[in-house]
Structure 1
């Protein structure tokens, strides 16, 4: 279930649910999230399809994953990248109160390794890339 929570639903539901609490903040946050993911998703797709790292069951003898991956290649972990991107944006916008979302993002990454669809280095790369994009978009270094 943790892995499934990284399928993208949380990245949509969390910003939209902010409208119930703080509509003005929600508008600004949603624009930030949309900008960040407009950068993250194409980067993820390009990296996966250029690097073409095979998944653990394809390269580790006698290894079977628990689930079937949603795409063919392993590096970087898109689930982890998106989870850390959302976590970074939440913390940058809402401060210390949002730090627990990093626990969720870490669990999403860990679950991908435990399910056998990623190597630990896929998760580390996804976490670094997602966090970096969050920082660069939040600081205005990268903008659409």
Structure 2
């Protein structure tokens, strides 16, 4: 079962990497990936805090979610220690993009994007679908850049959504 899952993961990675090269998606993937860097979340959350009536709850939910997500992310990443595809494949097969750390599971960019999307869905439900679409594209960009496998992305999505869910439960009661 695990060998079959690992093979599907590898094939999914190869397929998305191939599509990224075939359709020249690397520049777009770089922009999508950069949109998920931490400062963007902070700027938007502070802007909403100052400008929107639900901004305080959004800020608190996002902060609590990240306070739950980050330690779990670090524990998982440094316990599992899955080598990134860009570090174990031949040069030239993946893009010349160097990630910020050595390990790939779970995807921190994806976890952060899904924390954000979950908070958006909770506070601004009319923007939930676009937020989750963006989060999924953020995760896909990490595969196109050659720094994550699909299971890394799935694990990041689960981590982000579950952190958002539990933070919401803590804030409500």
Answer yes or no: same fold by TM over 0.5.
yes
Partner of 2:142: 112
Q: Tell me the equivalent position of 1:41.
A: 70
Partners of 1:4 and 1:87 in 2: how far apart?
16
For residues 94-128 of structure 1, the C-alpha deviation after alignment (integer angstroms, 9 at most, x for no partner) is: 11233211111111100000000101110011011
Consecutive aligned runs of 4 or more in structure 1 exceeding 2 Å deviation: 57-66, 96-99, 139-143
Q: Which has the higher Rg, Structure 1 or Structure 2?
A: 2
| TM-score of the pair, normalised by structure 2 | 0.75
CA distance in 2, matches of 1:46, 1:70: 16
Q: 1:25 aligns with which of 54, 57, 80?
A: 54
* Structure 1 spans left out of the alignment, 5+ residues: none
Q: Who is 1:128 aligned against?
A: 158
Q: Which structure shows the higher helix fraction?
A: 2
Q: Which residue of 2 aligns with 1:80?
A: 110
Unaligned runs of 5+ in 2: 1-30
